[in-house]
Amino acid sequence: MTIKHLVGKASFQLVKFILFMTKISPLKLSYAICTFVAKVASGLKWKRKTIALNNLKIVFPELTEKERKSIFRESLRNMFKNYFEMAFIINGKYAAEKISEVASASGLEYLDNLIDREQGALLCSGHFGNFPLMIIWLAVRGYPVAAIYKEARNFPDDFFGNIMRKFNVTPLKFKSDASVTVAIIRALKEKKIVLIQNDQSHPDGIYVNFFNKSVPSPAGPALLAKRVGVPVIPAYIFRDKNNHHLITVLPEIPLQQEDDHEKFMLVNTQIQIDWIAQILEKYPTEWLWLHNRWKRAKTIYPPL
């Protein structure tokens, strides 16, 4: 049995444990558990912690090591809180009315306008806050949303897909780049609002400047928007000090037209990544620092 297989089995056992805990304990107790676990985990030595702190040093070189560790610890706590909150939803302890209450939103008029025009759109976001809650919240409020997901190893077949269907989110299962592209185009033509997160490293991505380093980013949002003729609408979610979630939907990011295809991809992907960078700097404790975002970095851009 390989290490990856063992990690996969352990991951699902952790999910089962969290689901069990949310059946027998109130949310406030779960939050206390998250605070304790984050404090312990942030003090241990492990691979993903090293990656996270290296990421933080790239984004915030001006901060002290203590300040970066504080951001990491708080981001871990928020991540664990997200897990427990989703477990409450999966367990059915949060009905539609309760889901509506745990978050509020601004900028919904941009989505309402899409529905009035009977047009699909790409909801461009990153791994900020409780993003699964954001898409479920929108679905509960009646928005025709779809989301891409990748089935985890050693999880029951279609585990995440079935959860999405339960809340009227159209699941778009990732099997390959080609198959998920077809699924996204179909959803867009069905007037769906499709969540796409393009803040992670992609082996076949287009290289853009992300915090003065050249890293590959998925060019899908720009290419799909042009191909299907749909707008790119940015959105994100963050947690306030009272554990209430705030969803922000912003005006469309207009595509910059270029005669050269490669330049079109580069310019528009860069614009979208610059937006991700702005939100990351504004809400650093909400981002997924554990992902090795800069592992494929090639060159260093000089500061502007």
Q: Residue range 96-116: average pLDDT? A: 96
Least confident stretch, 153-167, 199-213, 267-281 = 153-167
Torsion sign over Cα 107, 112, 113, 115? positive
Torsion sign over Cα 249, 207, 183, 255? positive
Whole-number percent of the chain with pLDDT over 90: 77
SS3 assignment, position 268: helix
User: Would 243 be classed as within a structural domain?
Assistant: yes
pLDDT at 268 over 90: yes
90 exposure class (CB count in 10 Å sphere: 0-12, 13-18, 19+): buried
User: Would 296 be classed as within a structural domain?
Assistant: no
pLDDT at 189 over 50: yes
221 exposure class (CB count in 10 Å sphere: 0-12, 13-18, 19+): buried
pTM of the predicted protein model: 0.92
pLDDT at 1 over 60: no
Structural domain of 89: 3-286
User: Would 302 be classed as within a structural domain?
Assistant: no
The token pair at 142 is 């009646």
Please give the tally of structural domains in the chain: 1
User: Would 157 be classed as within a structural domain?
Assistant: yes
pLDDT tens for residues 134-151? 999 999 999 999 999 987
Residues in contact with 283: Cβ distance below 8 Å, sequence separation at least 6, in sequence order: 128, 129, 236, 238
User: Would 65 be classed as within a structural domain?
Assistant: yes
Confidence (pLDDT) at 2:
52
User: Would 84 be classed as within a structural domain?
Assistant: yes
Confidence (pLDDT) at 304:
46
pLDDT at 4 over 60: no
User: Would 291 be classed as within a structural domain?
Assistant: no
User: Would 167 be classed as within a structural domain?
Assistant: yes
Read off the pLDDT band of 9 (50, 70, 90).
low
Residues in contact with 91: Cβ distance below 8 Å, sequence separation at least 6, in sequence order: 19, 22, 23
